[in-house]
Structure 1
Amino acid sequence: MKSTWRFSFPALMLPALLAAGALGASAAEPVKPKVMVITMFGGETKPWLENEKAEIKIPVPGFPKDYPDVACSAEGLCVLTTAMGYANAASTLSALIYSRLFDLKQTYFIIAGIAGVDPSKGTLGSAHWARFAIDGSLRHEIDPRQIPEGWSHGVVALGAKAPGEKAQWGAGTEVYRLNEEFLQRAFALSRETALADNEEAQGYRAHYTQEAAKGKPLVSICDTLSSDSYWHGTMIAESMAKWVALMTDGKGSYCTTQMEDNATLTALRRGADAGLLDFDRIALLRTASNFDREGTDQTPVESLTAKSGGFGPSTTNAYRVASTVAKAIISDWDKWAGGVPAAEAVSAN
């Protein structure tokens, strides 16, 4: 290791390097991140590494081979990449929590990734903070070609006898509600963020008639649906909207769809139950890289395989919106260290 590195790393970060064996030490105190950003693949991580001085790399046993470490800045911002899907998300977060390399008791977690979006709730590049994360897979499902007469779809809650009935049993990970105070602070801090857009995305919006889809990207609060299956199309989407309403007693407003969040939150919930982190310090942001269904002049296949132009704005905006909140927390750490501060105490730095 170059000797100049020793002087560029603050005392806060040196223990983690020692614990990871970077300086040949056998034991050290764990590092204490102020903010831990959770991304799911390299395209989501890239803007963070390009725009933040996250030069301290801490390898974590059990992390995916493609994303083997946590990247941290001197100020206390850290970024990790889980790799896509439930199995990767839960495994990576569990490896982090139980690695003993980090003290996460005061850490704020921001999940910042891309998603599909309901065109009635958002558009390409729009950013949505979630109140609820709902699992779209823990359920019974019968092929539509074999459903009984009178059923509009084949989705049935666990233990129920027909669509629309409440579940009779479950896994306990079907629905997570995020801390309302942190949600509102995150939204207030980031709602005026300048969002990226491009001509390709602007042109693609012409396939849709919904006002939200045709509009410019914005920041809002609406909920996210998790599923390992990358589903697409109006019929499935409408069924999923009913599922979200059922699972949240009508309180959830389904907006984005993605492949990790209930798994990520389950790992974090377990860590919180073990006293290793604070579940009230989690915020969940998803930005729209694509619509979750076809436009009025498209088939679902055409929509699924189209190049919408949404990827670039969505990855950029996930960084812009989430980093606004992360920087506010770090710059006002004295106010945030003890928990989410009241609105009047939050700096808008």
Structure 2
Amino acid sequence: MRLSPLRSRRPFRLRFLAAPLLASCSLAPAAQAQDAAARAARTLATCKPAAPCDSPLPVKVVVVSLFEIGEDEGDTAGEFQLWKERRGLTTRIPFPQGFHDLYYNPDTQVLGVVTGIGTARSTAATMALGLDDRLDLTQAYWLVAGIAGIDPQDASIGSVALARYVVDGDLAHEIDAREIPVDWDFGYFARGTQGPHDAQTPLDPSGGEVFQINPSLEQWAFALTRDIALPDTPEIARERASFTGFPKALEPPRVLEGEQLSAMTFWHGARMTDWANHWVRQWTGGKGEFVTSAMEDTGILQAMTYLDAAGRADRDRVLVLRAGSNFTMPPPGTDAASYLLRENEGYAGLEAAVENLYTVGSVLVDELLGNWERYSQTTP
């Protein structure tokens, strides 16, 4: 258990409560919701983006999506749509300093942000959000919930992985694979090393190459979600059936622990998957296991590290969930280029991935909101 060092920026004042004020505490839920909505409306009417604000909106949970498909509601769901529709994120907060407007539920104090695809956008949006005086994020938990490529050596599409480490795949040296020495497996190797198999040079993690998720928070989250039965679908079953020789890929979707590799390049193939496993093991000192591939999470965690140092957010309250929408390599008998191009026409596991992200993430959100008196002060 960890005691959060951060508190609300609003000063605490001891008040003597008269009877009328005490009576207001027993408002019916509908009246409380109306009152919360009215307070939010007043704040948004008087406080402008990127400007001082004396009445910030309290936030308990930030749901971080990376992209949406088409509209925010009513069409094919990307990462954000289910959260917006099912969590009542109906209060729009203009966010011109970011990729997408924010949406908020004044009653539950859940906030949704869409950062945009890629590390640059996710870093900028997270930093802009953390510095926005209209929002009090000092006690907020952050749930990064996005789709990903998934290693068929670890799980099937539709599975949801909680990251213990997030590793950057962009900060590196590179030599074209056609020019590498004959004893190198990869032309991509860590800065400060003499090649991909240099185990003598210590790696300095302070450069943004690796971020560890708060272990106690991640373990708490996994304990709450590990036994969730995720639904199987005919589409997933058909896709995984071709992965003969990969027993975990042949299983139905499940919740597991596994590391997230963030890289701006959408890579694919058996050799690249081998590189990803090597890269994650190297940067985590053998403690991590590559499971999912995406783009944004090191940017989010770098911004959160800076925001924590500035007292604007709590870096130890970040969780990363990634659900497999596609495999990181083709099945036996299929070449990488053909499989990648086919997948780009539509991920076989997209619908299941976004649904399962919501299912698993909602268990965590409900636990936080239902026991906020405890979790606001003490991080699991």
Mapped to 2, the partners of 1:220 and 1:32 lie a distance apart of 32
Residue 206 of structure 1 is aligned with which of 210, 228, 241? 241
Q: Which residue of 2 aligns with 1:235?
A: 271
Could you tell me how far 1:156 is from its partner in structure 2?
1.9
User: How far apart are 1:19 and its partner, in Å?
Assistant: 4.6
Q: CA deviation at 1:326?
A: 0.7
Asked if 1:156 is matched to 2:213, the reply is no
Q: CA deviation at 1:45?
A: 0.1
Alpha-carbon distance in structure 1 between the residues aligned to 2:312 and 2:253: 37
What residue is the counterpart of 2:40 in the other structure? 13
Q: CA deviation at 1:27?
A: 4.3
Q: TM-score, normalised by structure 1?
A: 0.90
What residue in structure 2 maps to residue 100 of structure 1? 133
* Match of residue 59 from structure 2: 33
Aligned to 1:118: 151
1:54 positional shift? 1.1
What is the CA deviation profile of residues 191-228 of structure 1, one whole-angstrom value per residue up to 9, with x for unaligned ones? Answer: 23342432111101112121111001000111110000
Separation (CA, whole Å) in 2 of partners of 1:62 and 1:335 = 33
SS in structure 1 at match of 2:249: helix
What's the secondary structure of 1:284's corresponding residue? strand
Structure number with bigger Rg: 2
Structure 1 residues 49-198: aligned runs within 5 Å? 49-64=84-99, 67-165=100-198, 166=201, 172-198=207-233
- Select 2:359's aligned residue among 290, 295, 320: 320
Structure 1 distance, partners of 2:226, 2:262, is: 24
Structure 2, gaps ≥5 residues long: 1-30, 69-77
Q: Does 2:312 correspond to 1:289?
A: no
How far apart are 1:26 and its partner, in Å? 8.6
Q: Rate the CA distance shift 1:272–1:236 in 2: closer, same or farther, 3 A.
A: same
Most deviating of 174-183 and 332-341: 332-341
User: SS where residue 322 of structure 2 aligns?
Assistant: strand
Distance, in Å, in 1 between the alignment partners of 2:205 and 2:304 is 19
- 1:255-274 Cα distance to aligned partner (Å, 9 max, x none): 00101000111011110011
Question: Are the structure 2 counterparts of residues 73 and 288 from structure 1 closer, same or farther at C-alpha, using a change threshold of 3 Å?
Answer: farther
Residues 127, 287 of structure 1: 8 Å contact kept = yes
Structure 1 position 171, deviation (Å) = 6.2
Distance 1:9 1:219, change over 3 A: same
Partner SS state of residue 96, structure 1: helix
In 1, are the aligned partners of 2:53 and 2:133 still within 8 Å (CA)?
A: no
CA distance in 2, matches of 1:150, 1:8: 68
Cα root mean square deviation, aligned: 2.3
> C-alpha distance in 2, partners of 1:46/1:226?
23
Native 8 Å contact 1:114 1:286 kept in 2: yes
Match of 2:374 in 1: 335
Alpha carbons of structure 1 residues 145 and 304: separation in structure 2 relative to 1, 3 Å: same
Tell me by how many angstroms 1:167 deviates: 5.7
| 8 Å CA contact retained: 1:71, 1:80 | no
Decide whether the 8 Å contact of 1:16 with 1:58 is kept in 2. Answer: no
| Farther off after superposition, 172-181 or 158-167 | 158-167
Shift of 1:16: 3.9
Do 2:84 and 2:103's aligned partners in 1 also have CA atoms closer than 8 Å? no
Percent sequence identity is 32
Tell me: CA distance 1:159–1:13, structure 2 relative to 1, closer, same or farther (3 Å). same
Are 2:80 and 1:45 equivalent residues in the alignment?
Answer: yes
Q: 1:317 to 1:49 in 2, by over 3 A?
A: same
Relative distance call for 1:127 and 1:170 in structure 2 (3 A) is: closer
In 2, the alpha carbon distance for the partners of 1:249 and 1:11 equals 51
- CA 1:151 to 1:227, structure 2 compared with 1: closer, same or farther past 3 Å? same
1:265-316, Cα deviation, whole Å (9 max, x unpaired): 1011110011111111111100000000011021112221235520000011
In structure 2, C-alpha distance between the alignment counterparts of 1:254 and 1:311, rounded to whole Å: 20
SS in 2 for 1:255: strand
Which runs of 5 or more structure 1 residues have no equivalent in the other structure? Answer: 342-349
Asked if the contact 1:207–1:295 (Cα under 8 Å) also holds between the matched residues in 2, the reply is yes
- Aligned 8 A contact 2:225 2:255 in 1: yes
Aligned counterpart in structure 1 of residue 260 of structure 2, from 224, 228, 233: 224
Q: CA deviation at 1:241?
A: 0.9
Q: 1:12 to 1:208 in 2, by over 3 A?
A: farther
The residue type paired with residue 64 of structure 2 is I
Partners of 1:171 and 1:337 in 2: how far apart?
29
Calculate the TM-score normalised by the size of structure 2.
0.83
Q: CA deviation at 1:44?
A: 0.1
Q: How many residues align?
A: 334
Q: Secondary structure at the match of 1:306?
A: helix
Distance 1:211 1:10, change over 3 A: same
How far residue 110 of structure 1 moved from its aligned partner, in angstroms, is 0.5
In structure 1, how many angstroms separate the alpha carbons of the residues matched to 2:37 and 2:203? 53
SS in 2 for 1:111: strand
- Displacement of 1:150: 1.6
